[in-house]
Amino acid sequence: MQQTWTLTKRELRAYFDGPAAYVVLCVFLAITGWFFSNALFLQNVASLRSVFSIAPFIFLFFVPALTMSSFAEERRAGTLELLLTLPVRDWQVILGKLLSLALLLLLAISLTLVYTISLAFLGDIDLGGTVGGYLGLFLLGLTYGAIGIWASSLTRNQIVAFILGFAIIFMLFLLDKITDFVPSQIGIILQYLGADYHFQNMMRGVIDTRDILYYLSLTGFAFLMTTYSLAKRPE
Amino acid sequence: MIEVQNLSKSYGNVEAVRSISFKVSQGEVVGFLGPNGAGKSTTMKIMTGYLPPNEGTVFVDGKDIREDALPVREQIGYLPESTPLYSDMVTYDYLEFVAAMRGIPSENRTERIRAMTNSCGLHDVLSKRIDALSKGFRQRVGLAQAMIHNPPILILDEPTSGLDPNQIVEIRELIKKIGQERTVVLSTHILSEVQASCDRVIIIDNGTLVADGTPEELRSGLSGGEQLSVTLQNTEEEVAEVLGSWDMAEVTEHGLDENGETYFILTSGNDIRADLFRLAVSHNWTLTGLHRKSKNLEDVFRQLTSG
């Protein structure tokens, strides 16, 4: 476990040594901030709903951008060979990378607490919806991250990793939006599989174990697929 | 110490390694020789536990690399081909990271990094980013990360490739120093390197092991005897008449060289320089050159790996 944490720290440092983390955090804050203040000042709506509605869209692009290098770049540079011949298990390496992304997401999400705090000054905030929204946003980002890392483990090309990760995530995002075009039986299944559907539930303040389970099992699945992909040790 | 048993590995339908077996004892410096694409790197990648073999296995101190992967990896330091390193890291931080990943307790890390700095000569580059280092220093950092946990076994894949002649000598010296107290397996396709730093040579061609022995053993096992080249200031006919009927050696070639001197190339089973000298004296020849063309590893290598 010590080693996993060491790797997490290295990954986090790599994010912050370069411009990647700062650009992502700044743009994330700028976009959510614009939507928040737009609702607040122009429409007189004191709610986090606008922030929570736009955040999944931002994650759709930003998370695969953050994870695209995780394994693809290590494979291209050959450092994967060093990493995987250290006395650590493959899953510890994957966990270390996922954990560093999770911490970066936590930081991004916690920066939006500024909006929540300013709302708290204006009046009572919807506690359930806020907690649910934050938790949902984190789980959504974590799931996207696990998928992005899996995509990155499939190739040595970062751009391919990004497109692949984005495509899988976008598909999950769209699933519950196309229910109108399919028979209702299939529609219910598609809705359940859709990533955004569960987030909408949580944002409403309903913290249901099914929603949490959905994200965690999808994260677990992507994690497992990454271990398979690494076990093959492609050139 | 290391026992490689019937190792086979294929990529798709390309067989990279075919049933290779050999042993390396403690303290040996073994050179892995072979043309490019012979299967050297693949064998080393399996030995370090990076690639799973299709068949066969590797034992390190009696432990199977597939079943006891982690304890075996602790015994091994590895420098992959072309020295991959995290180029965005500072040398010191990188060594610290590897030390931590190797499970060296934090209070001992500084001391280990200092030891590596001394033995690999990294004083000037500790605070530099790795992407700013020259190839020679990258190689040293690669060696330092491979040795940071003081492993009894080092596996080095082409440690001198891409270096300039001065750097090659430096790295070679370093490996020699390291090899005094460790078991080292290094691969190369530079023959002089093996002669300079290895106790034993294993030649691989086309995925199979074609030779295994000390450099001397391999040279002596070569077919064809010794060749001696002789130059004299006497006429060709005069000497040819005597040498043609000499029973110690056979004349393989004779004529005039670029200086207009008579030369003969003789082949014999053993060293006949003394006999030839006496023969020249007894015939009153003026001997101006006597040169033994000893076979080197290059000949061994060519003979074993061509065709």
pLDDT at residue number B141: 93
Q: With beta carbons under 8 A apart, name residues in chain B contacting A95.
A: none
pLDDT at residue number A234: 65
| Dihedral of the alpha carbons of B152, B158, B160, B162, in degrees to the nearest 10 | -150
Of B50, B52, B101, which is closest to A7 when you measure between CB atoms? B101
Alpha-carbon distance A208 to A228, whole Å? 31
Of B73, B100, B103, which is closest to A85 when you measure between CB atoms? B73
The larger pLDDT score, comparing residue B37 to residue B89, is at B89
CA distance B165 to chain A (A): 25
Kindly determine whether residue A87 and residue B84, on different chains, have CB atoms separated by under 8 Å: no
pLDDT in tens, A179-226: 788 888 888 888 888 888 898 888 888 888 999 999 999 999 999 999
Of B74, B88, B145, which is closest to A14 when you measure between CB atoms? B88
The larger pLDDT score, comparing residue A65 to residue B254, is at A65
Alpha-carbon distance A30 to A35, whole Å? 9
| Contact criterion met (CB below 8 Å) for A198 and A138 | no
Identity of the residue numbered B231: T
Residues from B in contact with A at Cβ < 8 Å = 11, 45, 48-52, 70-71, 73-74, 76, 78, 80-82, 84-89, 93, 97-98, 100-103, 145
> ipTM, 2 decimals?
0.89
The larger pLDDT score, comparing residue B296 to residue B185, is at B185
pLDDT at B217 > cutoff 80: no
Alpha-carbon distance B187 to B31, whole Å? 6
Of A3, A13, A81, which is closest to B101 when you measure between CB atoms? A3
Q: Please, what is the average pLDDT of chain B?
A: 86
Disruptive mutation site among B101, B129, B155, B161 for chain A (greatest number of A CBs within 10 Å): B101
Q: With beta carbons under 8 A apart, name residues in chain B contacting A14.
A: 86, 88-89
Q: With beta carbons under 8 A apart, name residues in chain A contacting B88.
A: 14, 17-18
Question: Does the predicted TM-score (pTM) go above 0.90?
Answer: no
Alpha-carbon distance B29 to A42, whole Å? 76
Q: Cβ contacts of residue A63 below 8 Å, gap of 6+?
A: A101, A105, A141, A144, A145, A148, A165, A169
pLDDT at B294 > cutoff 70: no
Tokens of B42: 């693949």
3-state secondary structure of A149: helix
pLDDT at residue number B223: 52
pLDDT at residue number B218: 76
pLDDT at residue number B121: 87
Q: Cβ contacts of residue A53 below 8 Å, gap of 6+?
A: A35, A203
Look-up of token digits 């869209």:
A57
pLDDT at residue number B4: 92
pLDDT at B220 > cutoff 80: no
Any bridge partners for residue A182, and if so which? Answer: none
The larger pLDDT score, comparing residue B226 to residue B93, is at B93
Look-up of token digits 């709506």:
A45
| Contact criterion met (CB below 8 Å) for B268 and B275 | no
CB atoms < 10 A from the CB of A61, how many? 16
pLDDT at residue number B108: 93
3-state secondary structure of A45: coil
What distances in angstroms separate CA B300 from CA B122, B294, B297, B304, one per listed residue?
37, 12, 5, 6
Kindly determine whether residue A82 and residue B45, on different chains, have CB atoms separated by under 8 Å: no
3-state helix/strand/coil string of chain B: CEEEEEEEEEECCEEEEEEEEEEECCCCEEEEECCCCCCHHHHHHHHCCCCCCCEEEEEECCEECCCCHHHHHHHEEEECCCCCCCCCCEHHHHHHHHHHHCCCCHHHHHHHHHHHHHHHCCHHHCCCEHHHCCHHHHHHHHHHHHHCCCCCEEEEECCCCCCCHHHHHHHHHHHHHHHCCCEEEEEECCHHHHHHHCCEEEEEECCEEEEEECHHHHHHCCCCCEEEEEEECCCHHHHHHHHHCCCCCEEEEEEECCCCCEEEEEEECCCCHHHHHHHHHHCCCCEEEEEEECCCHHHHHHHHHCC
Tokens of B6: 């019937």
Instruction: Choose the most confident range, by mean pLDDT, from A158-172, B132-146, B249-263.
Output: A158-172
pLDDT in tens, A164-179: 999 999 999 988 888 7
Q: With beta carbons under 8 A apart, name residues in chain A contacting B162.
A: none
3-state secondary structure of A207: coil
Of A2, A10, A85, which is closest to B50 when you measure between CB atoms? A85
CA distance A144 to chain B (A): 26
pLDDT at residue number B160: 83
Alpha-carbon distance A205 to B214, whole Å? 75
Of B49, B71, B85, which is closest to A85 when you measure between CB atoms? B49
Q: How many residues does chain A have?
A: 235
Tokens of B88: 């965005």
Average pLDDT score over residue span B261-265: 86
DSSP class of residue A78 equals T
Cα B217 to the center of its chain, rounded Å? 15
pLDDT at residue number A218: 95
Tell me which chain B residue has its CA closest to the CA of residue A73: B86
CB atoms < 10 A from the CB of B54, how many? 14
Q: How many residue contacts between A and B have a Cβ separation below 8 Å? A: 66
Q: How many residues does chain B have?
A: 307
CB-count burial class (<10 Å; 0-12, 13-18, 19+) for B107: exposed
CA distance A78 to chain B (A): 5
Average pLDDT score over residue span B44-58: 92
Alpha-carbon distance B86 to B78, whole Å? 15
Residue ranges in chain A modelled with pLDDT below 70: 234-235
